[in-house]
Amino acid sequence: MKDIQKAVPRVDARGKAEGTTAYLADLRMEGMLHGKFFRSTRARARIVSIRKPELPAGYYIIDKDDVPGENVVAMIENDWPAFVDREVNYLGEIISLVVGPDREEIVRIHDSIEVEYEELEPAFSLEEASALKGGPIHGKDNLFADYFISKGTPDEAFRKAARIIEDTCDTGLQEHIYIEPQGMLGWWEDDRVVLKGSLQCPYYVKHAAQEVLGCDDEGIRVIQSTTGGAFGGKEDYPEVIGAAIAVAVNRIKKPVRIVFDRTEDISFTCKRHPSRIRFRTAVDEKGGILGMDIDIHLSGGAYETYSDVVLQRTMFTATGVYDIPSSRVRGRAWATNMVPSGAFRGFGAPQALFGIETHMNHIARELKVDPLEYKSRYFLQKGAATVTNGRIYEDVLLPEMTRQIREMSNYKRKYDEYSKSFGRGIGVAFALHGCGFTGDGEQRLIKAVVRLVKREDEKIEILVSNVEMGQGLLTTYRKIVSKVLGVPLEMIIYENPDTARVPDSGPTAASRSIMVVGYLLQEAAKELKQRWDDESSFEVEKHFKMPPHTSWNQDTLQGDAYPSYGWGVVAVEVEVDPVTFEVETKGIWAVHDVGVPIDERVMEGQVTGGVIQALGYGSLEKLELKDGRFYQNTMTDYMIPTSLDFPKVEGSFVENPYPYGPFGAKGGGELVFDSAAPAFSAAVEQAIGKPISRIPVIPEDIMEVLS
Amino acid sequence: MVGNRRTYPARGDRRVHITYRPETLREALSLMKESGKEKRVKPFAGGTDLMVRHRGWHGTTSGFPSDILFLDRIDELKCCGFYDKEYHIGAACTLAEVEQDDRAPSILKEAITLMAAPALRNRGTLAGNICNASPAGDTLPPLFILDARITLIRQGGSRTIPIEDFITGPGETVLGDDELLAEIRIPITEYTHLCYRKVGTRKANALSKLSFAALAGIEGGEIRDIRIALGAVAPRIVRDREIEASLQGKAFDEIDLRGTLEAYGKLICPIDDQRSTAAYRKQVALNLIENFITRDIREDIQSKE
C-alpha cells in the first residue's frame, strides 16, 4: 500500500459527529428575513392574472418585475426563467418569492395569492413528448439535444448477422435525499449581494446571480456553507435559489434566507433523468457480437439544465466496458412538463450501464452461456477503440478484477447451483466511468485555476472553488498538499470556498475534484516546495492543461471522450420470497480501480455509500409522476435504504496509477454508483428465472413478471 | 386546572387554541365533557401521527384545528399488567413500553418491533395506533386475532367493546366526543401456531403495504382454533369469524383451501396508492393465508408425525 492511501482522521468528522458544525439552517443574521416560494399549481398553463394581497409593512412579494438583469437561471441554455414570466411549464415552477420577518405571516400572505390560469395540455411521458402533445415545450421538436455517433461498420454488421437480439431497458426517476435540504442565505454588504449556500459549484451560482442582477464580476460574491450531502443535487438547483435570493436582496437590501422543507425539496428540485434505451445487437452463428444499434431517450423535464451533457455521457458510456467492433448510438433528450431533470451522481452513465449490462446478460441467456464468462470475452483493453473512436490509454485490469470478484463472491458455485431452482440468484455488473468533464470540456469550458499560498506563519492555504460535501475533500486535498511538501496535515488550511478569495477551479462534479483539481494542487505544491526558501510568503498558481495524449472534436463527438476511466465490478446475491416477492440481499462484493485511493477509508466510504445508494435506485426508490406531481414526495413514501436493508459491502481496490492524477489517483465518486443496480437486477433475474429490464425492481413488478 | 395553558395563534382563522396537560383522569374527563359537544378538544397521546398530520411550514407552529389535551401526565393511563386473566395496556403507555414488557403477547410485541424506529416507538402509543384507525395500523391485525377489547371512559361512565366494533372505517371509530380511550384489554389466548408478517416498503422505518397476523390451535391433527387478520387490504382490518368457523374441527385433508381463499378473496378489496398496488396487495394477502395454512401449520404437523 502506498503511504498516501493510509487513512487519516477526517478533518471534519468530529464537528459533524458531535453536531457542533453549523449548516445553513443554523445560520442567522441580524434582521434576517425568511423567504418562501410561491409556486404554480399547474403543470402547463398560461398565467392570466395574479391577485396579490395587501402587504403589511416589511413584507415583500418578489417576482419577474424585480429582476434588474435577465430573468433566467443561467446554466448552459438560458431557458429556465428565474420567475415565471407568463408560461408555466411544470407543476411547482417559481412564480414569486414571499419575504418577511414572521413565518406565520409569510404563510398567510403566500396562501392568499390568487392566480388565474389558462390551462394547456401537458406532456409528461417520453411518448407524449415525442408526439408533441399540447404543442412543443422546447423549440419545434421538444428536443434539448439529438446526437449520433458511429464506430466501425454497423450496416455491414447487421447485414451479416445470423440473428438480432433486442432489448428495451427503462430506468426511473431518482431523488438525491442529501441529509441537508437545499438552502441559501443572501445579504447586502459593501454595495453588493453576498450569497452563502449549501452548494457544489460556487462559480455556477455566481454566474447565475450575475445574469439575473445584470451586474459585473464584482457585483456578487458566493460563499459555500458547510454542505450536508449533495450527490449532484446541489450542482444545478442552488442556481435557482441563488438567482431568486439575489433579486430579493438586491431590492430589499436585507438578509434573506431560504431553507427548504423535505417535502418541498423532494417535490421541486431536480431529479435523475429517467431513461429508455433500445438495444439491437447483431450476433453471428457462433454467438459473437458483430455490432450494436443503441437508441437512447432521456426525459429532461421542462428546462434544459445539463441534459445536453448528461445525454453525451449516456451515449459515450452506452457500450460499457465492452469492445464492440461496430456500433451506432443515437441519443435524444426530451422536454416534458416535469420538474427539470438534472445532475445526479453518475450523470447519465448509470442509465447506460444498467442498459448495456442487462442487455449483455440477456444475450448470454439467449445463447445459454454464463453471463460473466460471456462478458469477459469483450472487455476493452489498452489501445482499444472507444465508442467515440478514441483510445483506451491505460492498462485495463478487468481480468484481474473479475478474478477477484469470482473468488470473493464464490460466483461459480453459486451461479451453477442457483440456476437449477427458484429463489436465489447472483448477478455481476461491470462499469467504467470517464473522469472529468466530457470531451474537451475541462479545457474549453472550465479552464481550472488553483492557487496555493505560503503564509508568513509557514502555513499553506489551498485556494480552490471545490467543496467538501461529504466526500472527504477537506481531508484529501490537505493530504495531497501535505504529502508533497512533507509537512503535517495541520499546517494546511482549506476553508469553505468564497469567490472573493478563491480562483475558479471549476465545479465539484464529474469525478474531477481529485483527478483534475487534485493534480493541479500536487503540481502547485511541487513548485511551492522548490521555491520554499525564496520568500517568506508567496503564491503559486496552476492552470489546467489537457493531458497530451488526448484529442477531441466536439462538433463530430469523435476522439477521446475522457482522458481516463475508473473501472468497477460489483456482485450481488439475492433471495426472493415466493410468498411476498420481497427480495433479500444476501451479499455484496465490489472491486474498483480508481488509480490509487488518496485515502483508503474515504474511498471505502465512497464504495459503501455509492453501492448502497445504487441498490436503492435499483430496488426501492420508486418515484412516480401523477398529473405532474411526484406521488412519493415525503420520506415516508420515497424509500431510500436503511442500514437494515442491505448487508455490508465487501470491497477491494486494484492499484493502477494514472500519470495525470495526484499520486496516481483517478475519479471514484461516481464510479461506485454505476454497477450495483444492474448487478441486483441480474441476481433477481436468475432467482426468478425471468428477464427483467426495468429498475427499480420492486416486488410488485416481480409478481407481474412471474404471473 | 393543574395542566399548562399555553396559547398560540392558529394559522388561517388566527383563533387562539389552548393546550391542556392535566395530571388526573378526572380533570381530563371533565375537560372532554365541557368542550365535547363542539369537538373542540383533541386528545393527544404520543402525537406521532397528529404532529405529522398538522405540520406546517418549518419554523411555524403546527396547524391544529382544535384545542389539545395532552394525556402524557395522567398516571392512571400509564398502567400495564394482568388483572382477571387479561393483559391491560393503559392509553398513555408507549409502544416501547409494551415492546419491552415480558408479559405482553408475543405477536403484538413482534408487530411493534417492526414499526417505525426506536425514537417513534418511545413516543407513540398503542392507544394512538388504534384511535388513528388506519387500515394499515400495524398493531391492529394482532389485536384483532387476540380478541382485544377497548375500554372507553367518559365522565360518569365507561364501556368495554371488542376492537372490531370500535373501528368503523378508515380514520373512523365509535369514540364519543366526550370519551377517552382508557385501556386495551387482551385475554390470554392459547395456540400452537403463530405468524406475523409485515410486508413493508423496506425493512425498517416503513409503512406497511399490507400486514398479516394469524394463530392456530391444533389438537390431534385437527384445527381447534384458527384466526386470521389482514391489514391494509380493505377499508377495515379483515377478520372473518365465519370463514374461521368453517375451518374449525377439521383435519387438514378436509380443508377446502380453494374455497377458503375464494371466501377471503371476496373480503380483500385493496387500493392502489403511493406505496403499492391493489393487485399486489390482494395476491400477497392470499399467498400469506395459503402459506400459513399449508406450510406453517400443515408441514409443521406432518414433520412432527
Q: Is B241 on the interface with A (CB under 8 A)?
A: no
A181 to chain B: nearest residue by CA? Answer: B58
Give the span between the Cα atoms of A305 and A43, in whole angstroms: 18
A579 touches chain B (CB under 8 A): yes
Residues of A in contact with B207 (CB under 8 A): 636-637
Shared domain check, A395 and A249: no
Q: Do B287 and A699 touch (CB under 8 A)?
A: no
Q: Which of A34, A261, A262, A580 to mutate to test the interface with B (most CBs of B within 10 A)?
A: A580
Question: Which residue of chain A comes nearest to B61, CA vs CA?
Answer: A104
Identify whether residues A493 and A518 lie together within a single domain: yes
pLDDT recorded at residue B298: 85
Indicate yes or no: pTM above 0.95.
yes
Residue of B nearest to A260 (CA): B58
Which range marks the domain in which residue A448 is found? 441-543
Question: Which residues does chain B have within 8 Å of residue A579's beta carbon, measured at their own beta carbons?
Answer: 284, 287-288, 291
A19-76 tens-digit pLDDT: 999 999 999 999 999 999 999 999 999 999 999 999 999 999 999 999 999 999 999 9
Q: In terms of domains, do A239 and A377 share one? A: no
Closest CA to B107 of B144, B150, B151, B160: B144
Whether A384 and A487 map to the same domain: the answer is no
In a domain, A147, yes or no: no
Rounded to whole angstroms, the Cα distance separating B128 from A245 reads 42
A623/B contact by beta carbon, under 8 A: no
For chain A positions 232-261, those within 8 Å of chain B (CB to CB) are 259, 261
Residue burial A555-566, b: 16+ Cβ < 10 Å; e: rest: eebbbbbbbbbb
Within 293-332 of A, beta carbons closer than 8 Å to B belong to none
Given A211, A233, A268, the domain boundary residue is A268
- Choose among A588, A639, A592: nearest CA to A616: A639
Cell of B167: 373501528
Residue at A156 is within a domain: no
Does A650 fall in a domain? yes
Tell me, yes or no, whether A309 and A329 share the same domain. yes
Given A107, A631, A639, which is nearest B60 (Cβ)? A107
Amino acid code (one letter) for B96: A
Q: Where are the alpha helices (DSSP H) in chain B?
A: 25-36, 50-53, 95-99, 106-113, 118-121, 126-132, 140-145, 163-166, 241-247, 257-267, 278-291, 300-304
Distance separating alpha carbons of residues A181 and A228, to the nearest angstrom: 8
Measure the N-to-C terminal CA separation of chain A; round to a whole number of Å: 52
Burial class (CB in 10 A: 0-12, 13-18, 19+), B253: exposed
| Number of Cβ within a 10 Å radius of residue A634 | 14
Judging contacts by C-beta atoms under 8 Å, the chain A residues touching residue B291 are 579
**Interchain contact B276–A (C-beta under 8 A):** yes
| Chain B closest-CA separation from residue A193 CA (Å) | 25
Dihedral, A111, A113, A114, A115 alpha carbons, nearest 10: -110
Whether residue A36 lies within 8 A of chain B, CB to CB, comes out as yes
B280 touches chain A (CB under 8 A): yes
B2: pLDDT strictly greater than 60: no
* Interface subset of B 12-51, CB within 8 angstroms of A: 12
DSSP A55: P
The verdict on a CB contact (< 8 Å) between A261 and B57 is yes
Domain boundary among A219, A243, A268: A268
Interface check for B92 against chain A (CB to CB < 8 A): the answer is no
pLDDT band at B39 (very low <50, low <70, confident <90, very high): low
Q: How far apart are CA B248 and CA A80, in angstroms?
A: 67
Residue of B nearest to A700 (CA): B280
Same domain, A434 and A445: no
Q: Is residue A159 part of a domain?
A: no
Q: A434 and A449 share a domain?
A: no
Cell of residue A506, nine digits: 471549476
Judged by CB atoms closer than 8 Å, whether chains meet at A703 and B9 is answered as no
- The residue of chain B nearest to residue A109, with distances taken between CA atoms, is B12
* CATH number of this structure's domain B75-187: 3.30.465.10
How much is the pLDDT for B269? 98
Nearest-by-Cβ selection for B58 from A261, A620, A644: A261
**A474 lies in the same domain as A611:** no
pLDDT tens per residue across span A478-501: 999 999 999 999 999 999 999 999
Contact check, Cβ <8 Å, B60/A103: yes
> What's the topology of domain B193-304?
Enolase-like; domain 1 (3.30.390)
Q: How confident is the model at residue B3 (pLDDT cuts 50, 70, 90)?
A: very low
Cell, residue B43: 386528545
Minimal CA separation from A433 to chain B, in Å? 30
- Distance between CA A493 and CA A117 in Å, rounded? 53
Confidence at B4, pLDDT banded by 50, 70, 90 = very low
DSSP one-letter code for A672: G
The answer to whether residue A148 sits within a structural domain is no
In a domain, A49, yes or no: yes
Across the interface, which of A259, A644, A699 has its CB nearest the CB of B204? A644
At A656 the pLDDT is 98
> Closest Cα of chain B to A346: distance in Å?
24
Could you tell me if A576 and A612 lie in one domain?
yes
In DSSP terms, which residues pair with A189 in a beta bridge? A192
Smallest CA–CA distance, residue A58 to chain B, in Å, is 18
pLDDT at B1 over 80: no
Name residues whose C-beta falls within 8 Å of residue A420's C-beta, 6 or more positions apart in sequence.
none
Instruction: Report whether pLDDT(B184) > 50.
Output: yes
Terminal Cα distance for chain B, rounded: 65
Q: How far is B77 from chain A (nearest CA, A)?
A: 30
B60 shares contact with chain A (CB less than 8 Å): yes
pLDDT along chain A (707 residues), means of 10: 91 97 97 98 98 98 98 96 98 98 96 98 98 98 98 98 98 98 98 98 98 97 98 98 98 98 98 98 98 98 97 98 98 98 98 98 97 98 98 98 98 97 98 95 95 97 98 98 97 98 98 98 98 96 95 97 98 98 98 97 98 98 97 96 97 98 98 98 98 98 97
Q: Do B287 and A579 make contact, defined as CB atoms within 8 angstroms?
A: yes
Which CATH number is A81's domain given? 3.30.365.10
B8 phi and psi angles, rounded to 5 deg:
-150, 150
Q: Does A706 touch chain B (CB under 8 A)?
A: no
Is residue B10's pLDDT more than 50? no
pLDDT in tens, B249-265: 999 889 999 999 999 99
Identify the pLDDT of residue A16.
97
Tell me how many domains chain A contains: 3
DSSP assignment of B151-167 equals: EEEETTEEEEEEHHHHE
In chain A, what residues touch B58 (CB-CB under 8 Å)? 259, 261
Chosen domain end from A268, A287, A308? A268
Residue A638 vs residues A22, A702, B122: alpha-carbon distances, Å: 27, 19, 24
Question: Is B202 within 8 Å of A620 when comparing Cβ atoms?
Answer: yes
- Position B5 pLDDT exceeds 60: no
Q: Does A101 reach chain B within 8 Å, measured CB to CB?
A: no
Interface A:B, Cβ pairs < 8 A? 71
A703/B284 Cβ within 8 A: yes
DSSP B130: H
With an 8 Å Cβ cutoff, are A103 and B197 in contact?
A: no
The dihedral of CA A487, A490, A496, A502: what is its sign?
negative
Residues B288, A580: C-beta atoms closer than 8 Å: yes
B221 pLDDT above the threshold of 70: yes
Name chain B contacts of A629, Cβ cutoff 8 Å. Answer: none
How sure is the predictor about B297, in pLDDT bands with cuts at 50, 70 and 90? Answer: confident
A380 occurs within a structural domain: yes
Q: What is the 3-state composition of chain A as percent helix, strand, coil, each rounded to the nearest 5?
A: 30, 25, 45
d(CA A238, CA A244): 10
